[in-house]
């Protein structure tokens, strides 16, 4: 606890650090809200600014950019049904329909609120349990990663909706796209068909733009005769009541725990956490 207090004192005893914190959050939200720009890109672009800064201001700026970028992806995911970042994919499944019903403000407030709480949960867990979790993550091998992959594929049955056939076809297409490019073990190129542009595989950002943005634009053009508008935000009542908060408390703890423990594993990021937590939650509500 003393180390945590000292960290807060050192981080906020300078106006420069506070300004960098605000700048990082604002720019991160802007990068995250624009489909195609990610939090990682924001960190990479602002990294040269840290060369002349001290260690603490540099970390404050980069962490604020990343956290703001991940949270900013919720905006376009709710209002446009296009995830601003890969970690906001599952948000489009529920936030988009809420915005269509005029509950965009409520959806955004709930997303931001629980994103904030989830960040605090992960930060406090990592502050006190980083040595233990680090040793645990290093002990995981190919069997554990294989088990996580198989378990993720079983969630297709939950996420595919009414049409199981379409869900399985989408799963097979996704597996094929993931196999394009250099193999992670021996570096052998697969399914490139002689095109060297495919050697690195398909990047997440162009894939997301193609899967979500183009399909949503085509749907809007077909249904609304070419007019594309941001979802209307109507004034609604309380955005989250005490009863709703207590009812979702266990869901929050379970999803935050999944995000924390999956996040410490090398090679697995926000996309896996997002889809895994959403799949488990949806399965629970379907069976209850």
For 31-82, how does the pLDDT look when each residue is reduced to its tens digit (9 = 90+)?
888 877 778 888 888 888 888 888 888 888 888 898 888 888 888 888 888 8
Q: 137 pLDDT exceeds 80?
A: no
Query: So what's the pLDDT on residue 4?
Result: 62
Cα separation, 56 vs 64, whole angstroms: 12
Q: Which residue has better confidence, 161 or 82?
A: 82
d(CA 160, CA 176): 18
The pLDDT assigned to 11 comes to: 66
Q: Which residue has the higher pLDDT, 57 or 14?
A: 57
- At CA 69, angle to CA 65 and CA 285, rounded to 5? 140
- CA distances, 3 to each of 7, 10, 119, 128, 138 (Å): 6, 11, 19, 10, 25
pLDDT average, residue stretch 86-108 = 82
What tokens were used for 3?
A: 């180390």
In this prediction, residue 281 carries a pLDDT of 78
Out of 107-116, 120-129, 152-161, which region has the weakest mean confidence (pLDDT)? 152-161
Evaluate whether 274 touches 88 at the Cβ level (below 8 Å). Answer: yes
Q: What pLDDT shows up at residue 203?
A: 73
CB 201 within 8 A of CB 181: yes
At 239 the pLDDT is 66
How is residue 278 written in tokens?
Answer: 């959403």
What is the C-alpha to C-alpha distance for residues 228 and 221, in angstroms, rounded to an integer? 7
pLDDT: is 148 or 1 the higher one?
A: 148
Tokens in use for 28?
A: 């991160």
Residue 255 in this model has a pLDDT that exceeds 80: yes
267: pLDDT strictly greater than 70:
no
Place of tokens 């930060």: 123
**Mean pLDDT taken over the chain:** 77
In DSSP terms, 52 is beta-bridged to none
Task: Enumerate the domain spans of the chain.
Answer: 2-287
Around Cβ 257, how many Cβ atoms within 10 Å?
A: 15
What confidence category does residue 287 fall into, taking pLDDT thresholds of 50, 70 and 90?
low
Pick the more confident residue, 112 or 239.
Answer: 112
Q: What is the pLDDT of residue 135?
A: 77
Angle between helices 2-12 and 15-33 (to 10 degrees): 90
Would you say residue 155 has pLDDT above 60?
Answer: yes
pLDDT(20) > 80: yes
Q: What tokens does 4 get?
A: 């945590």
**Has residue 223 got a pLDDT over 70?**
no
Could you give the CA distance from residue 273 to residue 288 in angstroms, rounded to a whole number? 23
Q: Hey, how many other C-beta atoms are within 10 angstroms of the C-beta on 123?
A: 14
Question: Are 6 and 13 a contacting pair, CB within 8 Å?
Answer: no
Q: How confident is the model at residue 158 (pLDDT cuts 50, 70, 90)?
A: low
Q: Is the whole model's pTM more than 0.75, yes or no?
A: no
């Amino acid at each position: 606890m003393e180390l945590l207090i000292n960290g807060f004192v050192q981080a906020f005893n300078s106006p420069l650090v506070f300004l960098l914190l605000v700048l990082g959050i604002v720019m991160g939200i802007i990068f995250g809200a624009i489909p195609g720009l990610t939090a990682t890109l924001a960190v990479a672009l602002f990294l040269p600014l840290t060369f002349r800064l001290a260690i603490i201001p540099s970390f404050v700026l980069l962490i604020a950019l990343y956290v703001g970028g991940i949270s900013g992806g919720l905006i376009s995911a709710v209002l446009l049904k296009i995830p601003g970042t890969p970690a906001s994919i599952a948000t489009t499944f529920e936030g988009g329909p809420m915005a269509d019903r005029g509950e965009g403000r409520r959806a955004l407030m709930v997303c931001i609120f629980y994103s904030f709480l989830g960040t605090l949960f992960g930060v406090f867990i990592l502050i006190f349990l980083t040595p233990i979790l680090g040793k645990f993550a290093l002990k995981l091998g190919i069997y554990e990663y294989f088990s996580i992959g198989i378990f993720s594929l079983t969630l297709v049955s939950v996420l595919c909706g009414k049409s199981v056939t379409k869900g399985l076809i989408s799963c097979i297409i996704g597996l094929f796209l993931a196999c394009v490019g250099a193999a992670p073990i021996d570096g052998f190129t697969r399914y490139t068909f002689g095109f060297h542009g495919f050697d690195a595989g398909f990047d997440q950002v162009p894939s997301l733009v193609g899967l979500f943005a183009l399909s949503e634009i085509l749907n809007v053009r077909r249904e609304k005769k070419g007019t594309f508008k941001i979802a209307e935000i109507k004034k609604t009542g309380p955005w989250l009541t005490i009863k709703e908060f207590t009812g979702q408390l266990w869901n929050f703890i379970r999803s935050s725990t999944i995000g924390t423990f999956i996040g410490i594993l090398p090679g697995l990021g926000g996309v896996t956490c997002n889809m895994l937590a959403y799949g488990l939650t949806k399965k629970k509500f379907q069976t209850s």
